[in-house]
């Protein structure tokens, strides 16, 4: 199963799932395909003698129509994203995963955007799903020092995105690495730059604030832009429309 052959035709829903250790349940003909990203704990999925796990180092893909046994090995908290695919698959797949902070950010963005009936909201849902899929389908590797640096960098940006003077150099210094090395890690793991990741975080936060009908100037300040015109240009470049039209 390759990302190039993977087509999402419809987003269904997403939710948090909390499972106590020892919980075991049989599923027959799963109604929708899904990604399960486990933030803590461990869950097994068994079908026809094949067993895979979702934990803090692995996500899973479960296909539509799948029959399996779900067993919680350790108390678990997971994000479940249900969707329909362009073709049917006959087996589950263990995938790579993303840091918990990244998974929560995708969940929040998809959850909020899916509540909108606008074309822009639906476009954001699919963009986020495919962006997440791109990371999940990467070749699985063991957790490394580089992964920890990336997790620390992303969590730092998510905690400080509202600071207008935040720079990539400051993020790198927080992680005790050089700016050049941090850029290389982001390019290799996420095919993007730290600055673009920071912009993604800010724009997703801004989109949620526009739904609260907040003044554009207020939104700009809350997501780290001291100049409204700069924020408006960045928002229009990211979403295709100015923030005032959301």
The packing angle between helices 145-160 and 179-190, to 10°, is: 100
User: pLDDT (tens digit, 9 = 90+) per residue, 93-136?
Assistant: 999 888 888 898 899 889 988 888 777 788 889 989 998 998 89
Render 76-127 in DSSP notation, one character per residue.
Answer: EEEEEEEEEESS--SS-EEE----HHHHHHHHHHHHHHHT--SHHHHHHHHH
Judge if pTM exceeds 0.85: no
| Share in percent of the chain as helix, strand, coil (round to 5) | 45, 25, 30
User: pLDDT (tens digit, 9 = 90+) per residue, 61-80?
Assistant: 999 999 999 999 999 999 99
For residues 39 and 77, is the Cβ–Cβ distance under 8 A? yes
For residues 110 and 129, is the Cβ–Cβ distance under 8 A? yes
Domains of the chain, first to last:
3-103 (2.60.120.10), 144-245 (1.10.10.60)
């Amino acid at each position: 199963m390759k990302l190039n052959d993977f087509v999402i035709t419809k987003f269904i829903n997403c939710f948090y799932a909390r499972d106590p250790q020892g919980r075991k349940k049989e599923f027959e003909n799963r109604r929708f395909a899904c990604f399960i990203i486990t933030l803590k704990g461990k869950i097994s999925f068994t079908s026809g003698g094949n067993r895979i796990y979702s934990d803090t180092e692995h996500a899973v893909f479960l296909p539509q129509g799948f029959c399996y046994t779900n067993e919680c090995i350790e108390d678990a908290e997971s994000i479940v994203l249900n969707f329909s695919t362009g073709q049917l698959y006959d087996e589950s797949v263990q995938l790579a995963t993303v840091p918990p902070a990244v998974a929560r950010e995708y969940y929040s963005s998809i959850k909020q955007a899916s509540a909108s009936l606008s074309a822009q909201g639906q476009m954001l849902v699919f963009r986020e799903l495919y962006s997440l899929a791109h990371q999940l389908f990467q070749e699985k590797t063991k957790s490394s020092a580089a992964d920890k640096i990336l997790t620390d960098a992303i969590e730092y940006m998510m905690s400080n995105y509202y600071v207008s003077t935040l720079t990539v150099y400051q993020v790198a210094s927080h992680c005790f690495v050089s700016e050049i090395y941090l850029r290389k890690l982001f390019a290799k793991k996420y095919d993007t730059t730290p600055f673009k990741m920071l912009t993604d975080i800010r724009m997703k936060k801004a989109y949620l604030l526009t739904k609260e009908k907040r003044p554009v100037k207020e939104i700009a300040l809350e997501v780290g832009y001291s100049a409204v015109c700069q924020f408006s240009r960045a928002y229009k470049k990211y979403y295709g429309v100015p923030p005032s039209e959301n």
